[in-house]
């Protein structure tokens, strides 16, 4: 049963908490949230609640109740598509886990160690469920909004009582209300879906502490997985596995676009360096896998950042043209001054190779000399970002929202403070400067 799986996970959480990588992942998520908090999606969700209940810190705003805070913060972390991805499941796991567990920990005045343990348990549950993640995306369901909500609810429920039974109840309950569609990709609704999934998870975790009964909403053949993917999909869950690979499976993003495009972007960077710039490139061809072809081939629209993040053509052409792909490159995509990106996008074609994994890609360019160059890359087989690069990414993201002093305080506290300190003592720099 699911509670036995959570009991198995809980035997290893102390070791997870001692892993420096765990704190870096939290830092990365909050950095993404700081950079993304002005986005229309978290702004809209913040506007739905009042500050009458100051249970938890909202990024870039005043404190709210735990459900509202987790919802707005999840949308902020996911808004720029710069949040981490669990490699095998394709769940943007920290965008849901971090805000739910932070809000509940603040509400109940729990320690940072208790938060980290819950976060680690959620990562193990993600690895436990990883094989169904790509199937959900392929069937048209937003994996982060659907599976992520169940994962975060389980972690939150466990954190409140350190009870595997409560974690299982929260997961099964959240599964009855978890939903999101890939049809929202390229629109502001995508981060809103993640925000709503976090609110659903927080609600389920809080309800799990009561005496309510819940169906097997996640693990039964009539539950979420069985209904969406078929009963056979339940056999893909890693029953009886401690999922010790969970933390290593989380990949922070080096580029703020759909993870399915990252292999193509990395290949484009290598080709640009080899060609000595983009001026000699006459034609570009990108080969991607079937899932990327379904979800990340949107035609770029001038000025539309959300669409550009799911446009392989824009991301590859802009990378070849400029040698970089950062947050500011989506502020005004395909603007009139970006002539080289426009030129290359017009000369870019794509094809699908069904043997490629979800994030693998090949990019081939033809030079003005007639010579051809090709590069391929699969992020699923590559190492994660180094610790120093992660810290620099956080600083760059945080600088878009808060002062250097507040960012330095947040970085120091998250990476070095004793885990026994209350979570409430760590979140102040995320709020309004005057608070």
Any domain includes 435: no
pLDDT of residue 1: 84
Residue 222 falls inside a structural domain = yes
Residue 46 lies in a domain: yes
If asked whether residues 164 and 141 sit together in one domain, one would say yes
Residue 434, pLDDT score? 53
93 and 16 in one domain? yes
User: Residue 86: inside a domain, yes or no?
Assistant: yes
Instruction: State the first-to-last Cα distance of the chain, in angstroms, to the nearest integer.
Output: 45
143 & 56 share domain = yes
Q: Which two tokens stand for residue 130?
A: 């990883």
Rounded to an integer, what distance in angstroms lies between the CA atom of residue 383 and that of residue 395?
A: 22
Let me know whether 178 and 47 are in one domain: yes
Same domain assignment for residues 209 and 295: no
Residues 266 and 248 in one domain: no
Residue 118 lies in a domain: yes
- Cα separation of 381 and 87, whole Å? 9
Asked if 408 and 397 touch (Cβ cutoff 8 Å), the reply is no
Tens place of pLDDT for every residue, the chain, 435 residues? 899 999 999 999 999 999 999 999 999 999 999 999 999 999 988 887 766 678 999 999 999 999 999 999 999 999 999 999 999 999 999 999 999 999 999 999 999 999 999 999 999 999 999 999 999 999 999 999 999 999 999 999 999 999 999 999 999 999 999 999 999 999 999 999 999 999 999 999 999 988 788 899 999 999 999 999 999 999 999 999 999 999 999 999 999 999 999 999 999 999 999 999 999 999 999 999 999 999 999 999 999 999 999 999 999 999 999 999 999 999 999 998 899 999 999 999 999 999 999 999 999 999 999 999 999 999 988 888 899 999 999 999 999 999 999 999 999 999 999 999 999 999 999 997 655
How many whole angstroms separate alpha carbon 281 and alpha carbon 259? Answer: 25
Our count of domains for the chain comes to 2
Report yes or no on 303 lying in a domain.
Answer: yes
Closest CA to 239 of 7, 16, 22, 11: 7
Residue position matching structure tokens 């600088």: 399
Residues 83 and 223 in one domain: yes
Tokens of 104: 């509940």
3-class secondary structure for 365-431?
EEECCCCEEEEEECHHHCCCCCHHHHHHHHHHHHCCCCCHHHHHHHHHHHHHCCCCCEHHHCCHHHC
Of 362, 381, 400, the residue that ends a domain is: 381
pTM above 0.85, yes or no: yes
Based on the fold, state whether residues 235 and 373 are members of the same structural domain: no
pLDDT at 53: 78
Same-domain check for residues 20 and 139: yes
Residue 294 sits in which domain range? 259-381
- Do 374 and 389 lie in one domain? The reply is no
CATH number for the domain harbouring residue 218 = 1.10.4100.10
- CATH code at position 273: 3.30.1330.120
pLDDT score of 374: 97
In a domain, residue 183? The reply is yes
Helix (H, G, I), strand (E, B) or coil at 349: strand
Residue 310: closest CA among 198, 142, 146? 142
In a domain, 34, yes or no: yes
Looking at 381, 399, 419, the residue that finishes a domain is 381
Q: Are residues 206 and 268 in the same domain?
A: no
Give the Å distances, CA to CA, from 124 to 26, 244, 430: 15, 7, 27
Residues 306 and 269 in one domain: yes
Q: Which pLDDT belongs to residue 400? A: 93
Nearest to 193 by CA among 227, 241, 143, 155: 143
Written as one string, the DSSP assignment of 76-122 is HHHTTS-S-EETTT---HHHHHHHHHHHHHHHTT-BHHHHHHHHHHH
Using the structure block, give the residue that is written with the tokens 């693998």: 360
């Amino acid at each position: 049963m699911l509670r036995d799986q959570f009991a198995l996970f809980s035997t290893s959480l102390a070791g997870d908490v001692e892993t420096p990588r765990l704190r870096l992942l939290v830092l990365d998520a909050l950095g993404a949230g700081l950079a993304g908090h002005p986005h229309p999606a978290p702004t809209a969700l913040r506007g739905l609640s009042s500050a009458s209940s100051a249970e938890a810190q909202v990024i870039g705003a005043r404190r709210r109740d735990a459900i509202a805070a987790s919802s707005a913060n999840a949308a902020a972390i996911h808004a720029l598509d710069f949040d981490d991805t669990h490699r095998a499941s394709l769940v943007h796991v920290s965008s849901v886990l971090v805000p739910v567990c932070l809000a509940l920990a603040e509400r109940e005045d729990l320690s940072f160690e208790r938060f980290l343990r819950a976060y680690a348990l959620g990562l193990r549950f993600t690895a436990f469920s990883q094989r169904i993640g790509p199937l959900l995306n392929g069937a048209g369901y937003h994996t982060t909004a659907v599976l992520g909500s169940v994962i975060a609810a389980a972690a939150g429920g466990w954190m409140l009582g350190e009870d595997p039974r409560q974690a299982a109840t929260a997961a099964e309950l959240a599964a009855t209300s978890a939903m999101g569609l890939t049809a929202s990709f390229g629109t502001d609704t995508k981060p809103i879906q993640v925000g709503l999934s976090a609110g659903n998870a927080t609600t389920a975790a809080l309800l799990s502490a009561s005496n309510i009964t819940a169906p097997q909403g996640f693990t039964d053949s009539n539950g979420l997985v069985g209904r969406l993917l078929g009963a056979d999909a339940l056999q893909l869950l890693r029953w009886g596995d401690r999922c010790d690979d969970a933390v290593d499976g989380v990949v922070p993003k080096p580029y703020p676009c759909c993870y399915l495009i990252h292999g193509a972007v990395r290949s484009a960077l290598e080709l640009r360096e080899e060609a000595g710039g983009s001026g000699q490139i006459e034609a570009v061809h990108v080969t991607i896998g079937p899932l990327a072809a379904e979800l990340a081939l949107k035609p770029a629209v001038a000025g539309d950042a959300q669409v550009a993040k799911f446009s392989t053509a824009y991301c590859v052409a802009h990378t070849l043209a400029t040698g970089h792909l950062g947050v500011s490159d989506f502020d005004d995509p395909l603007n009139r001054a970006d002539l080289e990106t426009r030129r290359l996008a017009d000369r870019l074609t794509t094809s699908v190779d069904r043997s490629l994994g979800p994030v693998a890609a090949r990019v081939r360019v033809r030079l003005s000399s007639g010579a051809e160059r090709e590069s391929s890359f699969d992020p699923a087989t590559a190492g994660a970002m180094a610790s120093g690069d992660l810290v620099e990414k956080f600083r760059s993201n945080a600088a878009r929202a808060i002062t250097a002093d507040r960012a330095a305080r947040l970085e120091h506290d998250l990476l070095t403070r004793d885990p026994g300190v209350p979570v409430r003592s760590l979140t102040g720099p995320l709020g309004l400067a005057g608070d």
